[in-house]
Amino acid sequence: MKNKVVTALLMATVMFGLTACGGSAVPSASDLTKRNSDEQEDDAAEDETEEDTEEEIEGTKEEEKEDKEDKEDKEEKEDSKKASGIVFGSDEAKGYTGFEYLLEELVSTSNTKSGDKVGYSVFVPDGDYPSVSGSSARCDRMGVTVSVDIDPYLQYDWEDYTMCENLDEYVESELSYSDYYGLEVGESKEISDDCAICEVSYMDYDSYDDVYTPFYQIFCLRDMGDDVMAMIDICIEAEETTGKTQSMLDELASFYEIDINWDESFAEAKKTAFENSDEYNADAFNLGYISFELPDGWEKDEDETSYDEIVFGPNGDALSFGYISVAKDYIADDGMIDDMLDDLEYTTSYFEEAFGDEVTDLVVEDAGETFLGKTIRMEMLLEDGDGYDIGIFYLAQDGYTQYAVYGVVWAGEGEDAEREVREALDMLFETGQLR
């Protein structure tokens, strides 16, 4: 295996901070109201046929009666729960053990208007790895992740804004660095004087497995009084749900007194809509955080691709005559590229020493502002058993996000191979879009 080039170039990313800091994905939701309405209309159209017999009509009436009874039973149960007082913020919630799928956690904050410390019983899925820290609690089970924070970070002077305005700002901030596809952000709406909700949906792309996964999320901002604002974040990963997920969602909806407009048809409906969209059918490689085009015949090399590094080669073979690799990570220093560009002579000598004798003819230059942000370019020859590989390495930065793009031409493959790799790199930067 020709791994020497990859190893050498990855050294650069490690030395300059391409170390994962583990951000959390904020899944989302969709406006299911219209979808549910459309489905009901379709069901009605199917039932209305000219050849309905009296027997069919009677069967339909009986089914409607049963559905009505089931609905009434469900509403009665929900009303019974609410009537018992087992809702968020109630005294009766403390120590309650009547939920089948939820677990009580205690959270508190002293960041109140009065200065008094207050605490609340919150309920999250009864999963294996609950996380509780001061004012917040989080856990997941059956495809549902619930986070509750009674001291969330809201915008400056949040007291001067309405519930919806504060929630809009919070959701926008949460999604600002997302790499999602088919993103739909619903309109924030007040469901009471002290509560507002916002639904979001999207498709998350797993570049390693090359699959899109539907997500639904509802954000709920509730005013608890004494300047305590609670943020309830309920996120559903559709493909991880089970037949019992809906029962758990019913318990969450009852306790937090909100409607969770998710059902089992969500995943298929979201998938279908996305696969019919221009976004999905664009003539480009989509890695979630970026999209770009490559020359005809270039495909992802599934064998050489890893979780952190996506590799492309002619006919999907990175080991034929060359390849291109793309990676992303987060760093603590948003001025790293600026520091490198300020003294290119020092940067060059630093890399020469870091790479050692296996690298020759190293050239480091300012590539300007690319679609990835401020970019530095390095070109080098790397010693191989068959001669010298050509390495063309781009390191870019946009805020606290760092990107690495590099192309390799294997030793002895000739001018045609070198030209194809360089043309592929040029097309990537000409057509690339940061998501």
Which domains does the chain show, CATH number per domain?
A: 4-20+281-434 (3.40.1000.10), 32-50+84-274 (3.40.1000)
d(CA 140, CA 124): 8
Token reading at 58: 């009677």
- What is the reported pLDDT for 27? 29
- What is the reported pLDDT for 178? 79
- What is the reported pLDDT for 400? 82
CA–CA distance from 23 to each of 26, 172, 233, 285, 331 (Å)?
A: 9, 16, 16, 23, 11
Mean pLDDT of 392-402: 88
Token reading at 382: 């790397």
For the cut 50, the answer to whether the pLDDT of residue 108 exceeds it is yes
d(CA 413, CA 373): 32
d(CA 200, CA 193): 22
The more confidently predicted of residues 11 and 340 is: 340
d(CA 345, CA 59): 84
d(CA 420, CA 281): 25
- Edge to edge, the sheet with strand 373-384 lists 298-300, 310-314, 322-330, 401-409, 387-398, 373-384, 359-370
Interhelix angle for 54-83 vs 245-256, to 10°?
50
The more confidently predicted of residues 13 and 111 is: 111
Question: HSE (CB half, 13 Å, CA atoms) of 273?
Answer: 19
d(CA 63, CA 69): 10
d(CA 432, CA 400): 19
C-beta separation of 103 from 126 below 8 A? yes
For the cut 50, the answer to whether the pLDDT of residue 143 exceeds it is yes
3-class secondary-structure state, position 303:
coil
Exposed e or buried b per residue across 282-306, where buried means at least 16 C-beta atoms within 10 angstroms of its C-beta? eeebbbbbbbbbbeeebebbeebbe
pLDDT band at 291 (very low <50, low <70, confident <90, very high): confident
Mean pLDDT of 309-328: 92
Hunting for tokens 């993103």 — which residue is that? Answer: 183
**Lowest mean per-residue pLDDT among 36-45, 183-192, 353-362:** 36-45
User: In the 3-class helix/strand/coil scheme, how is 91-128 assigned residue by residue?
Assistant: HHHCCCCCCCCEEEEEEEECCCCCCCCEEEEEEEECCC
The chain-wide mean pLDDT, for the chain, equals 82
Burial class (CB in 10 A: 0-12, 13-18, 19+), 233: buried
Query: What is the per-residue pLDDT across 14-56, written as a single tens digit (0 to 9) for each?
Result: 344 333 222 333 222 333 323 333 444 444 444 554 445 455 5
CA–CA distance from 49 to each of 45, 46, 351 (Å)?
A: 8, 7, 76
